[in-house]
Structure 1
Amino acid sequence: MEQGKQLAGRVALVAGATRGAGRGMAVELGAAGATVYVTGRTTRTSVSEVGRSTETVEETAELVTAAGGEGIAVPTDHLERDQVRALVERIDRERGRLDVLVNDIWGGDHLWWPAGARMWEFDLDRGLRMLRLGVETHIVTSHYALPLLTRRPGGLLVEITDGTAESNASYRDHFFFDLAKYAPIRMALGLAEELKKEGCTAVALTPGFLRSETMLDTHFKVTEETWREGIAKDPVFAISESPAFIGRAVAALAADPEVARWNGQSLNSGDLAKEYGFTDTDGSRPDAWGYIRDVVLGDGTAPADDYR
């Protein structure tokens, strides 16, 4: 096997891979040699309700291939059961296996404003749409994809969320967002019990402070190359990480023959970097959740560089 191609011959589905963490995970799985089916609603001819035409599912697939894997774009709305069923049937027909399922579907950031509104003051349709995008999509995808994943022992399900089990134990100050981001942790916990009977593993995984495309160009008005300029606006941005970091976390989990030791757990990219020895693109290992715990929410005064 070519060095660095630990996932050669493996097949992955990254559901919700148009941009951000999803794109980062798809590309890093490809860099490790996997065939990666990537899905999303924004294509070169159609833009989802998120409203960003600058990132497409086709571009993600091309980046996967350029990284050394094989990227296959399948435009999919994961709320449409027929589309998800057809997606899984295509993977089965073309590859006959599924080794890694990453549930990263979200697309609800535009719905949660005003952030300070109490549940009964918040628009109910917007709130329920958030839950459909962040919870129902994961359930629909797992329902159709897990029969293929469990065909062989060793399959891995990764539920992507925002926050660890520890951080999500406290209320997130937004009723619908709180539910949407805690649900994947419970999904991983429950499905871990069901999947272990098939010799497969389920985990929940969160990035730290993610430098997604939206975070860079909309919130901080910077690029990946100039991201440190954003620290002046928010000092916590100093502990941020690129999408490649969580991508490398997923690739490391997928390549670990003892991945079952994590079954049912809530994991984060910073802790996995320490465990598996990978780094971010700048060679650092940002521990965002440690920094938030000790400095932002604690009484520490250590600089962010101490957590990189």
Structure 2
Amino acid sequence: MSELDAPLDAPLKGRIALVAGATRGAGRAIAVQLGAAGATVYVTGRTTRERVSEVGRPGETIEQTAEIINDAGGEAIAVPTDHLEEDQVRALVERIDREHGRLDILVNSLWGGDHLLEFGKKMWDVELSRGLRMLELGVKTHAITLSLALPLLVRNRGGLVVEMTDGTDEYNRTRFRENFYFDLAKNAPIRVAFNLAHDLKDVGCTAVAVTPGFLRSEEMLDAFGVTEENWRDAIAKVPDFVIAESPVYVGRAVAAIAADPGRARWNGQSLSSGQLAKEYGFTDTDGSRPDGWPYIMEVSQGGKDAPASDYR
């Protein structure tokens, strides 16, 4: 089925997607939105109903993600996968090939290193094993998945690779992310997309890096002691939370790129949910369009006197 043949209410019907790292947060929301747009979505991660990853959040599993998609009328397949294990990733790709013979959308939303973060420490004071683990989780996983999945994706023109990260290229180039290893892990996907753009252009495929703004992930809400219903109560303690966005917002951003026949114009670029909302016209769940990174750069860190409403 070509993009022109897909129904307007299911623009990704017939497309096969893999969201690597879909247990929670942005990864889960992206998988749900791709499913809502008609794609068949393979969701992977390390936390299942039988096994909990080192992140230690047993209530968020890939089976739950798949059930959310399936209960809403989409089609999802949960495949437990540790993306540091080449054999597991190879088996995953072989299964997608065997069951569908194609891969149209690959979302690398692999991370799971927040529990290792220690801000305010010099590079040499960070325990080396913790730093290297962050690079394994945030960089090595991406490289393994790309190496093994791209041969399937490039069989057909029009394929899309989305490298999920934290921070735009503009922000990350001009700010130290307060932890040497975290900085490397979150800049790497931006360079991955930039570099892949050169290889993919000749085969008619597209690579982009995408970041949410200040994400109201499940983990972030728990850390601030609020829920999605009363999240604004945390603003008094964390003023920048005023620009926070739900995971649905970045999910809609990725789904919009995937459904865009002209997405090749983004090839190699670093994109944000707020930027893409302006381009494609979608909103967050509350009807607003938060633009987190400009707000952080210009107001909270730049000293500009402007209300958050100017950035929503």
Question: What TM-score range do you get, normalising by the shorter chain?
Answer: over 0.9
Instruction: Name the counterpart of 2:231.
Output: 227
Residue among 187, 195, 200 paired with 2:200: 195
CA contact 1:208–1:270 (8 Å) conserved in 2: yes
Unmatched tracts of structure 2, length 5 or more: 1-5
Residue among 49, 52, 59 paired with 1:54: 59
Instruction: Name the counterpart of 2:132.
Output: 128
2:82 is paired with a residue whose SS is coil
- Once the two structures are superposed, residues 40-71 of structure 1 have per-residue CA deviations (whole angstroms, 9 ceiling, x without a partner) of 00001110000000100000011122233211
CA contact 1:236–1:304 (8 Å) conserved in 2: no
Please give the alpha-carbon distance, in whole angstroms, between the structure 1 residues aligned to 2:167 and 2:305. Answer: 22
TM-superposed deviation, 1:3 = 3.8
Instruction: Name the counterpart of 1:299.
Output: 303
Alignment of 1:88-99 (within 5 A): 88-99=93-104
Q: Which runs of 4+ in 1 moved over 4 A?
A: none
2:284 is paired with a residue whose SS is coil
Instruction: Name the counterpart of 2:250.
Output: 246
Q: Does 1:175 align with 2:180?
A: yes
Q: Does 1:207 align with 2:212?
A: yes
The aligned length equals: 306
- Once the two structures are superposed, residues 51-109 of structure 1 have per-residue CA deviations (whole angstroms, 9 ceiling, x without a partner) of 00010000001112223321110010000000000000000101111110000100000
Distance 1:257 1:2, change over 3 A: closer
Alignment of 1:16-165 (within 5 A): 16-113=21-118, 115-165=119-169
- Once the two structures are superposed, residues 188-213 of structure 1 have per-residue CA deviations (whole angstroms, 9 ceiling, x without a partner) of 00011001111000000000000000
TM-superposed deviation, 1:136 = 0.2
Unmatched tracts of structure 1, length 5 or more: none
CA contact 1:28–1:67 (8 Å) conserved in 2: no
Please give the alpha-carbon distance, in whole angstroms, between the structure 2 residues aligned to 1:226 and 1:3. Answer: 34
Q: Which amino acid aligns with 1:160?
A: M
Q: Does 1:186 align with 2:191?
A: yes
Q: Which amino acid aligns with 1:259?
A: R
TM-score normalised to structure 2 length: 0.96
Q: Which amino acid aligns with 1:26?
A: A
2:13 is paired with a residue whose SS is coil
TM-superposed deviation, 1:225 = 1.1
Please give the alpha-carbon distance, in whole angstroms, between the structure 1 residues aligned to 2:33 and 2:44. Answer: 16
TM-score normalised to structure 1 length: 0.98
What RMSD, in angstroms, separates the aligned Cα atoms of the two structures?
0.9
TM-superposed deviation, 1:2 = 4.4
- Once the two structures are superposed, residues 257-291 of structure 1 have per-residue CA deviations (whole angstroms, 9 ceiling, x without a partner) of 01000000000000000000000111110000111
Q: Does 1:268 align with 2:272?
A: yes
Q: Does 1:9 align with 2:14?
A: yes
